[in-house]
Amino acid sequence: DIQLTQSPSFLSASVGDRVTITCRASQAISSYLAWYQQKPGKAPKLLLYAASTLQSGVPSRFSGSGSGTEFTLTFTSLQPEDFATYYCQQLYISPYTFGQGTKLEIK
Amino acid sequence: EVQLLESGGVLVQPGGSLRLSCAASGFTFSSYAMNWVRQAPGKGLEWVSGISGSGGSTYYADSVKGRFTISRDNSKNTLYLQMNSLRGEDTAVYYCAKDHPSSYYDSRDFYHYCGVDVWGQGTTVTVSS
């Protein structure tokens, strides 16, 4: 199975900060990667797929990049509603594994 | 409006069985692959199982293979997860999730997967004596 490792696991930042989260895959997955946001007690929400394609309705301050084994999720300017946990998911081959998550907290 | 509504989560003893259901509405159910994703208390997301739109292809995580069975009834717009030989580590919120409409199979039968774009609210399964 493909393993995904996110870094960091916890991140403390302030409103307006530019922040980057990394997701590394244990083998090459081309651009078959998605990012999700999850708030406490809620279902996850799709942010990006195909590594860099923004899901409809998601603000443009979210962006994704990467291919092969290394991917990033970048917030150009953090907003209060962005404090949540973020997960990457590889979409290359079943089982479609998730990263362990990155919890983004307010500093 | 696209909606997914899970049901069937309860407290069950180790070794027991349970069937989860997910009622879909607001879209052509048979046209989309579907998934179950779970989240243990205080833990991350774990993809559990997926099924093609026709039901002809099924996929499982190693942790549930041989114990769980995914199925669907397209005439009832309902997805199921039959869970047998339940263990404490199966305790989780189970989400039903719909494949993104941009996902597709190509001529070589490779699935260009774009993730899941709609999630249910989840149903809680607790395995404990």
- Nearest-neighbour CA in chain B from A67: distance (Å): 14
Predicted local confidence at residue B21, as pLDDT: 98
Predicted local confidence at residue A103, as pLDDT: 98
Closest partner residue to A43 (CB to CB) among B50, B113, B121 is B121
Predicted local confidence at residue A2, as pLDDT: 97
Q: What is the 3-state secondary structure (H, E, C) of A2-63?
A: CCEEEECCEEEECCCCCEEEEEEECCCCCCCEEEEEECCCCCCEEEEECCCEECCCCCCCEE
Closest partner residue to A43 (CB to CB) among B60, B62, B120 is B120
Q: How far apart are CA B18 and CA B90, in angstroms?
A: 11
CB within 8 Å: B45 and A32: no
Predicted local confidence at residue A43, as pLDDT: 98
Predicted local confidence at residue B109, as pLDDT: 87
pLDDT band at A96 (very low <50, low <70, confident <90, very high): very high
CB within 8 Å: B115 and A101: no
Predicted local confidence at residue B110, as pLDDT: 87
Predicted local confidence at residue B114, as pLDDT: 92
Predicted local confidence at residue A68, as pLDDT: 98
Whole-angstrom CA distances from A36 to B28, B66, B115 are: 24, 29, 9
Predicted local confidence at residue B74, as pLDDT: 98
Q: How far apart are CA B117 and CA B102, in angstroms?
A: 10
The pLDDT tens digits for A18-39 are 999 999 999 999 999 999 999 9
Share of chain B above pLDDT 90, in %: 95
Residue B95 is encoded by which pair of tokens?
């989400």
Give the residue ranges of chain B where pLDDT is below 70. none
Cβ-based contacts of A99 with chain B (< 8 Å):
44
The pLDDT tens digits for A36-92 are 999 999 999 999 999 999 999 999 999 999 999 999 999 999 999 999 999 999 999
Handedness of CA B42, B45, B46, B48 (dihedral sign): positive
Closest partner residue to B45 (CB to CB) among A32, A53, A98 is A98
Give the helix, strand, coil percentages of chain B, each rounded to 5: 5, 50, 45
